[in-house]
A and B are shown apart, each in its own frame.
Chain A
Amino acid sequence: MRRFTWFNATSITLGFVFLYLPIILLVIYSFNDSRLVTVWGGFSGRWYGEALRNDAFLSAAWNTLQVALVTATVATVLGTLAAIVLVRGGRFLGRTLFGGMVYAPLVMPEVITGLSLLLLFVSLDVPRGLMTIMLAHITFAMCYASVVISARLVSFDRSLEEAALDLGCNQFSAFLRVTLPNILPSIIAAWLLSFTLSLDDLVIASFTSGPGATTLPMRIYSQVRLGVTPEINALSSMLVGLVTVGVIVASLISKRAETRRLAAERAAR
């Protein structure tokens, strides 16, 4: 462990303040009793109640949740398949191109992704709504999922699969009985990551949504343009809490699996 110095302590404090002060302020003001956002009027939880009674917010939240659940599930399945092909498929024609295309949305500006999807849906005459938001979210969440899962697959000992084949499994049951249980933590992490990404996306959802399909970030954004209300603060605080829990759980799961795997590998030597 490194020694404690005032320099270290100061820099880490400044860093965290820079990153988290706005969020902390938001959470604090969500408990503000006053209707004016910037004037402290005493502690109250009433805006949480107001936000939860706001039908527009609730229906947007329900939309968001549906989109996020479907996105996370489909993106994880597709991401797993892509990771298996990329890591295990060996050399096949177009492998580099396929790999590049799977990972491209990682670096693609969201505006471009959103715009191109909008053009696609319009030209194919697909009615826009929750369905199109889901499709759009799946395309970009899938590449994050496949990155997470392929990182685990790369370090997965291939001889385990061979042992399963040797002991009587065919390719499919070897995957199901040996590979899958061992990469499960990374699959869960990929699901949570996709879920979180879908939950807080504004840009792509705005491009691909249609009438009646408003997600929570879109609702908040449109509300804020008319002025920030304490209700928004409360709602945002709840979102922050949800995302934080998701990210923490995902990282805990993958970290615990990682340490267990390392311990197992150390013991193997």
Chain B
Amino acid sequence: MGLDPASLRLDQQLLHFMDQLEILEEKRQKLNTLIEDGWFNISKARYSMGNKQVSALQYASEMEPLVHVYASGSENGEAEFKCERKGDQAEEPEGSETVETIGPTDGGLRRRVNIKKYENIKEKVASKDECEKEPQLNTKNEKSPCQYQDPLKWFGILVPQNLKQAQAAFKEVITLAAEISTLQSAIVKTRLEMQTQMKDKQKMASELKE
């Protein structure tokens, strides 16, 4: 004797529901581990920088989000979240620029001091030109409005590696959070569908009895 189609559909949906719960649990575990890693690294950074150096006091007065979530809701109430990081493409070249410019400008300033000290010697006119050019480049970079955008800089220029590791962990957590939100929404939707199907089935069964 075969099962009726309503029961079969319900069984299939239940299996799908269980699969979704299993994936959710896996992602949850990963999320928890990543958050724990993040806290651990924040604590390590606090230990090396000082107790008050990694706290809410260091938050910038101007903040711009680097991550956006694109939420698309369907008619049946299911929502899909997609994470998009604004700074990913822009940050890397910026970072490489700062690494390049910090070196030469420091050298330029040093040379300037040397030039003042040994003014009477009158040497290297060309190096003077270089010095003049380099600070110009530097001022251009200082004016760029993107400086406050990397939250790592709120805590100083030379932050410990642990803080960078914490940032990396939390970046991953954010992506995972969007995935989990999508999954949670799908679970709620599956649950609602199953409830309505179950009610329909019971209705049909009671009608057959009568």
Q: Do A and B assemble together?
A: no
Interface of A with B (CB < 8 Å)? none
- Interface of B with A (CB < 8 Å)? none
